[in-house]
Amino acid sequence: PWKPVLLLLSPPAFSTTCAWCAKDRRLRQKRAISERQLTRYFVDQRKVRVVGGQGGGGGHSFYSEPRKVFGGPDGGNGGDGGHVILKADQQMKSLSSVFPFYQGFHGERGGSKNCYGANGAHMYVKVPVGTLVKEDGKVVADLTQHGDEYIAAYGGAGGKGNRFFLSNENRAPKLFTPGEPGQERILHLELKTTAHAGLVGFPNAGKSSLLRAISRAKPAVAAYPFTTLNPHVGIVHYQDYEQVAVADIPGLIKGAHQNRGLGMAFLKHIERCRFLLYVLDLSVPQPWIQLQDLKHELEAYEKGLSERPCAVIGNKLDLAQSRISLPLLREQVAERVIALSALTGDNLEELLLHLRELYDTYVKTEQSQGQSPVKW
């Protein structure tokens, strides 16, 4: 025989109507963005057309009231157009939010009773710290500090009202001038990642794995070359609240200074690093050849770049071949070699301590020269 069955359903959370017909309004967690999707969000070059605001036209009027019919001209001047200003902001990490066109606000027209028009507001465009501004291939600005500003396009001057042209020879001028158009320019913005340390190495040397091990950055890791297509910056936190920024530069190959592989597109990001961390793969028979090739590529790109303070990191210590290559590497290399495994976390403490020593030396050098060190 048929028996009725009573179903007890729990009402969904956050209902606005009855519990039986309300939709489930629980907060959903955002999905993690994959490396392939992240590549389109990082932009290090942008072509921008900037136009300053147009100045307001001058006023044209004559003062007239009872018992004072011929009061004379009283048209005020127009307001100036607003500038387009590029401003460095340390919260910005990419040029992806920069639009291809910006125009300043226009100035208002001059009014009667000698009232001047209001000036147009300035248009501020936030760009990351380390942005180069180029025009016709020449560098016109380098925004290296937080808060640095550059006027990309000046606003036009406001027009003159007929009151401006009053003189003894012309007591009733009818002449007034329109506002001038704003300056128009086409600029090329180029971002050079600003970080304290830069991880330099060949593809599959383990740079991304090392950055994941010492910071909270999550670059993609895979067993094929050129997994990292864009620079990633991770922050290493210390107990005294100091923060050291470490940049994971995409892998270089021989001939990178001739624009082979990823080439020049990412060699420029190494320029802004204060010290370098050469990451070598200890699982190859002669890892010191990697260091020689890396220094050659850096020196060919910019003279003196390979002479910056550095440390040599021998990665993949957990492999059997690495135990054989490590003593040979220390015999061939004059710099200090830090052997570790980014996969298992072996000997990461030595790297973090040496990284802090390099950072403290950089801070003392900048302060002794009267400059402010880069802070994150």
Instruction: Taking each helix axis as running N to C, give the angle between helix 320-332 and helix 288-301, from 0 to 180 degrees, rounded to the nearest 10.
Output: 60
pLDDT of residue 103: 94
At 159, list the tokens: 């027009």
Instruction: Answer whether residue 360 is part of any domain.
Output: yes
C-alpha to C-alpha distance for 253 and 259, rounded to whole angstroms: 10
Q: Which of 325, 300, 301, 304 is nearest to 315 (CA)?
A: 325
Which CATH number do you get for residue 187? 2.70.210.12
Given a contact cutoff of 8 angstroms between Cβ atoms, the answer to whether 270 and 279 are in contact is: no
**Are residue 222 and residue 345 in the same domain, yes or no?**
yes
237 & 297 share domain? yes
Boundary of a domain, candidates 151, 168, 192: 192
pLDDT of the residue at 222: 53
Which stretch of DSSP H or E encloses residue 37? Answer: helix 35-38
User: Tens digits of per-residue pLDDT, 78-88?
Assistant: 999 999 999 99
Distance CA(47)–CA(49), nearest Å, equals 7
The pLDDT score that the predictor gives to residue 181 is: 93
Q: Are residues 182 and 218 in the same domain?
A: no
pTM: 0.64
Domain range for residue 132? 42-192
What residues contact residue 344 under an 8 Å CB cut-off, 6+ apart?
Answer: 318
Are residues 260 and 253 in contact, defined by beta-carbon separation less than 8 angstroms?
yes
Q: Rounded mean pLDDT of 50-70? A: 84
Same domain as 268, residue 333:
yes
Q: From CA 218, how far away is CA 207, in angstroms rounded?
A: 12
Average pLDDT value for the chain: 79
Q: Where are the alpha helices (DSSP H) in the chain?
A: 35-38, 207-214, 264-267, 288-301, 320-332, 348-368
> Is there a single domain that holds both residue 98 and residue 231?
no
pLDDT band of residue 259 (cuts 50, 70, 90) is very low
Residues 191, 97: contact at Cβ < 8 Å?
no
* The pair of three-digit structure tokens given for residue 325, joined into one six-digit string: 């290559």
Q: Which of 262, 236, 235 shows the shortest CA–CA distance to 249? A: 262
Domain for residue 100, yes or no?
yes
At residue 16, does pLDDT exceed 60?
A: no
Q: What is the mean pLDDT of residues 26-45?
A: 51
Q: For residue range 125-154, what is the model confidence (pLDDT) as tens digits?
A: 999 888 889 999 899 998 988 889 999 999
Last residue of a domain, one of 130, 165, 192: 192
